[in-house]
């Protein structure tokens, strides 16, 4: 059995992100089989036991995850000319009054807060921001199994065969898409459940079967639903609430 870089194993085991792992190692917060590890690049056997000290665990518990109902016209990540980043909506005054989390807002909650996934500028709905590398990896890591649900308003005719292709049989960027769940929500709106997230995937899938998307809203990520969160407002992920 070959040794593997410690930070990689920590990420694979869901302890933290690889970047966070390097920071914990440098601070001496990581133990392998009871021995403190402080050297970056250290390799260990996958069967060895990794543990974070109390300081690292407390820091993780203090990290926040925020759910935003992104309106159309805001970009998920880096700002673009003429458009504002969605994170600019996360302010004390735009917090959802119905937020049941006991967490008090602090400007420190914006430090290191990053989108875990993207939502196109012309799409709306549930967008997750987190300081926690474990959650980011769960939602957007290469091995993520968290599904996402969308309501998609379309124009055009859709045959049963084309509907079948939306569920499975289309390719983008030279790669076959994973199985999806696509069905009619009403006469002009489709319901998509995806387990991957290629750039503008739903719009491109619809184009391939002759449909034009006129509206797209994400309403669920894993077990977490958008619910009654108003557009432009946000709330904290509650204790015990998981994706």
Among candidate residues 33, 120, 147, 228, the one labeled active-site is: 120
Backbone angles phi, psi at 105, to 5 degrees: -70, 140
Kind of pairing, strands 224-225 and 171-172?
unpaired
DSSP alpha helix (H) spans, the chain: 6-12, 18-27, 54-61, 133-140, 160-167, 201-208
Q: Is 174 helix (H, G, I), strand (E, B) or coil?
A: coil
Per the CB < 8 A criterion, the answer to whether 128 and 221 are in contact is yes
- Selection from 152, 70, 71, 59 nearest residue 117 by Cα: 70
Considering Cα of 200, then 202, then 203, then 209, what sign does the dihedral take?
positive
> Count of CB atoms within 10 A of residue 55's CB?
12
Q: Report helix, strand and coil shares of the chain as percent, to nearest 5.
A: 25, 30, 45
SS3 assignment, position 161? helix
Q: Is 122 an active-site residue?
A: no
- The phi, psi pair for 219, rounded to 5°, reads -115, -5
Active site residues: 120
């Amino acid at each position: 059995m070959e040794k593997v870089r410690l930070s990689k194993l920590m990420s694979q085991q869901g302890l933290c992100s690889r970047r966070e792992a390097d920071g914990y190692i440098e601070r001496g917060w990581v133990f392998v089989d009871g021995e403190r590890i402080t050297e970056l690049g250290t390799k260990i056997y996958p069967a060895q036991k990794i543990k974070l000290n109390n300081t690292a665990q407390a820091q993780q518990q203090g990290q926040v995850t925020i759910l935003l109902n992104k309106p159309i016209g805001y970009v998920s990540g880096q700002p673009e000319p003429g458009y504002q980043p969605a994170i600019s909506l996360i302010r004390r005054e735009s917090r959802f009054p119905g937020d049941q989390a006991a967490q008090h807002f602090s400007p420190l909650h914006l430090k290191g807060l990053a989108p875990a996934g993207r939502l196109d500028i012309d799409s709306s709905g549930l967008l997750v921001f987190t300081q926690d590398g474990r959650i980011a990896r769960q939602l957007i890591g290469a091995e993520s199994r968290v599904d996402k649900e969308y309501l998609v308003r379309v124009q055009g005719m859709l045959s049963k065969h084309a509907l079948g292709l939306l569920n499975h049989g289309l390719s983008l960027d030279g790669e076959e898409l994973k199985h999806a769940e696509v069905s009619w929500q009403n006469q002009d709106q489709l319901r998509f459940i995806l387990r991957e997230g290629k750039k503008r995937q739903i719009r491109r899938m619809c184009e391939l079967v002759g449909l034009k998307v006129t509206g797209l809203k994400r309403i669920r990520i894993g077990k977490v639903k958008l619910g009654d969160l108003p557009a432009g407002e946000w709330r904290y992920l509650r204790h015990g609430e998981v994706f």
